[in-house]
């Protein structure tokens, strides 16, 4: 089963107070690119089950988890630094 990451967020401009940002990644060119779709689907289902609205899906495709330079992860880091904080601390 493919898993991704759902970060809970509070986005003032969003339609819902309880929002989610989904991060999905697969490591190498040798992995099936469809796994990222499975991660997004699983995370979307989790968010929906928790009453959250997915406001953003961020993906890093064929990039190792060891690599520090990941565009999607950089985007999440920038979101995490926003003030007021978007992420209240609960994640999966």
pTM: 0.70
> Average pLDDT of 64-80?
85
Q: Give tens-digit pLDDT for 10-28.
A: 444 544 468 888 999 888 7
Helix (H) or strand (E) holding 43: helix 34-49
The Cα–Cα gap between 39 and 59 comes to: 10
Ranges of each domain in the chain: 5-80
**CATH T-level assignment (fold) for domain 5-80:** Rossmann fold (3.40.50)
pLDDT level of residue 40 (50, 70, 90 thresholds): very high
């Amino acid at each position: 089963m493919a898993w991704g990451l759902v970060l809970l967020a509070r986005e003032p401009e969003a339609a819902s107070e309880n929002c989610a940002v989904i991060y999905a990644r697969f490591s190498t060119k040798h992995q099936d690119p469809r796994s990222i779709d499975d991660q997004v689907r699983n995370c979307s289902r989790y968010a929906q089950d928790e009453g959250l609205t997915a406001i953003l899906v961020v993906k890093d495709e064929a990039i190792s988890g060891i690599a520090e330079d990941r565009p999607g992860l950089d985007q999440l880091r920038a979101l995490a630094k926003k003030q007021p904080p978007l992420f209240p601390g609960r994640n999966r």
